[in-house]
Amino acid sequence: MPLSLRLAIVLGTIASVASAQTPCHAGVRELSDPTARAQLAELAPHTSSSHDVMADGAGCTKDSLTVGDLRFPLRLIAPVVRLDYSNGVPDSRNDGEMWEGLGVNALVRVGFVFDQGIVHATVAPDVWYAQNRTFNFFRDTSGSRSPFSSNWYLPPYSIDLPTRFGASSVIGASLGQSSLWATVHDADIGISNSSQAWGPGVRGQLLLSADAPGIPRVFVRTNHPIDTRAGAWSGTAFVGTLTESPFFDNNPANDLRTLSAWTLNWSPTDSSSTVIGVAHASMRTGSIFGGAGHKLTGPSDQMNSVYARVKAPDDGLRAWVEIARAGGLPGMHQFLTVPYQGIAYLVGAERAAKFRGGTLLLTGEAADLEQPTDIRGQPTQDFYTSNDIPQGWTQRGQLLGDGIGPGANSQWVSLDWVTPTRSTGVFVERVRWNEDAFLRQYLPFLNRHDVTMRVGIRGGTVYRGQQITVELSGGRRLNYLFQNGTYIPGLNTEDVTVTELRVSLVPFEHRGQ
């Protein structure tokens, strides 16, 4: 009998003997594609420090994210609808379960939540569609992998990151934000498929983000910060199964991997303006839930991160940082000589200025995943890729961490005007893609960097408990796939116009924790 089923039976047995109702009301959160209103809500005073640096798409909530009377155990969740139209080349970031290809993309989530005694559940499946129109890209010609897999990332820099999800439209369905757990004192114990985001970043997180589909897992977590004389502590840990995409290799023996991970964060008090955390993850080929045909094999890959966030709600200020390192902890010799090997970082800050009619919110965030090339005698490894596990740090072909991907860096600045019911804003973004792979190419001249520059406008309104947002952006991807013919005869310069329109309908979340 699978371990997940055994756990479900145990939870049901506990519920049958429980006599006291818990204050938990199960709910579903939308973690991908953050809005200005959600950012501003995180700046509010007296909010739990751990609520957004250890975020889970399914859990207990004080917000009104369901339809129905809270006195009844079964309630509908408020629906989620996301529509996207993109042109040029795909940019599948901040999209969660859905992979956004060229053309029309859509995701719909409906379902219900259940609370009975100490047992809570969310049944919130996702159904998504990608038109996945054709575009020009370099196919993998190695013969051992799908032609849609990325030809930049062959061993020893291997990763399951398809350039395109097949040659036709794609329809997908999954358990989405579904979860089942029991509340036992200060802890939740259960099984889940929901999204997670560990870290303080707004646009992404380095170790674990909502950029990829959820991980089927068994978990334990604190259901609120635990106050001690040494401060308030929160944490979560899980063991789950990662799945290969259909567009990678032809070896069914390595389709499943096991990911075990934990994060622990500390604040001076539950409502403190400061939170500091650490996180660890370890991945191996095979699955402890997959039976004899998928036994754990080979070495493990590790990743560690530390993060911190400080905010001053009265002054409207917030700043954050996350630093991650691929591989095990460095030895003293390496730490003293090359402390930056395997390091990636993310930093950000925002300032909210209140006026009579609303709040002006300025946000900036930068991430850098590029790896140094000046370490002699020791090969570098692109962030998220692996020499031991072919799929790298991915789930179903999408990155577990920051969506900009291996060897990339990005900068984002936005300015939004937010009122109690509406928001409008502008933003600008720069992304340099696959830089580490670029430096391995023939003649990596300065004019061949693959860079996207885009600007956009966005706005939203709250109507009957639902938040409707619209985002329109446009720009250019310069030297797409390092194609610039200035100094290389026979190579054309490829600058691609990129446009995107996103429309989302998500529950309005007060974040009042």
Distance CA 439, CA 342 (A): 16
Distance CA 213, CA 176 (A): 8
Give the predicted TM-score (pTM) of the model.
0.90
Distance CA 156, CA 25 (A): 47
3-class SS letters over 229-292:
CCEEEEEEEEEEEEECCCCCECCHHHCEEEEEEEEEEEECCCCCCEEEEEEEEEEEECCCCCCH
CATH of 3-419+431-448, one of 2.70.98, 2.40.160, 2.60.40, 2.60.120: 2.40.160
pLDDT of residue 269: 78
Across 438-470, b (16+ Cβ under 10 Å) vs e yields: beeeeeeeeebbbbbebebebbbbbeeebbebe
Most confident segment among 60-69, 379-388, 451-460, 465-474: 451-460
Across 375-397, b (16+ Cβ under 10 Å) vs e yields: eeeeebbbbbbbeebbbbbbbbb
3-class SS letters over 363-394:
EEEEEECCCCCCCCCCCCCCCCCECCCCCCCE
**Of 80 and 7, more confident:** 80
Q: Which helix (H) or strand (E) holds 36?
A: helix 36-42
> Any residues with CB less than 8 A from the CB of 192 and at least 6 apart, and which?
56, 58, 178, 179, 180, 181, 214, 216, 217, 219, 238
**Nearest residue to 273 via CA among 232, 226, 235:** 232
Could you report the per-residue pLDDT of 379-416, keeping only the tens digit for each?
678 999 999 999 999 999 999 999 999 999 999 999 99
Distance CA 246, CA 257 (A): 15
Phi, psi dihedral angles at 202 (to 5 degrees): -90, -50
Q: Taking 70 as the threshold, does the pLDDT of residue 262 lie above it?
A: yes
The arithmetic mean of pLDDT across residues 491-502, rounded, is 92
% of the chain residues with pLDDT over 70: 88
**Are the CB atoms for 192 and 181 separated by under 8 Å?**
yes
% of the chain residues with pLDDT over 90: 59
Could you report the per-residue pLDDT of 153-164, keeping only the tens digit for each?
999 999 999 999
Could you report the per-residue pLDDT of 319-361, keeping only the tens digit for each?
999 999 998 776 666 666 666 778 999 999 999 999 999 999 9
163 SS3 class: coil
Q: What is the band of 474 on the pLDDT scale with cuts at 50, 70, 90?
A: very high
**Are the CB atoms for 48 and 225 separated by under 8 Å?**
yes
Mean pLDDT of the chain: 87
**Nearest residue to 278 via CA among 324, 332, 239:** 324
Each domain of the chain, given as residue ranges in start order, spans 3-419+431-448
Going by their DSSP bridges, the two strands 74-77 and 119-123 should be labelled as unpaired
- β-pair partners for 234: 265
CA distance to 15, 85, 147, 152, 498, per residue, from 163 (Å): 46, 18, 9, 10, 16
Q: Which two tokens stand for residue 278?
A: 């650490």
Q: Which helix (H) or strand (E) holds 149?
A: none
Distance CA 29, CA 506 (A): 9
pLDDT of residue 509: 64
Q: Taking 70 as the threshold, does the pLDDT of residue 4 lie above it?
A: no
Q: Taking 60 as the threshold, does the pLDDT of residue 201 lie above it?
A: yes
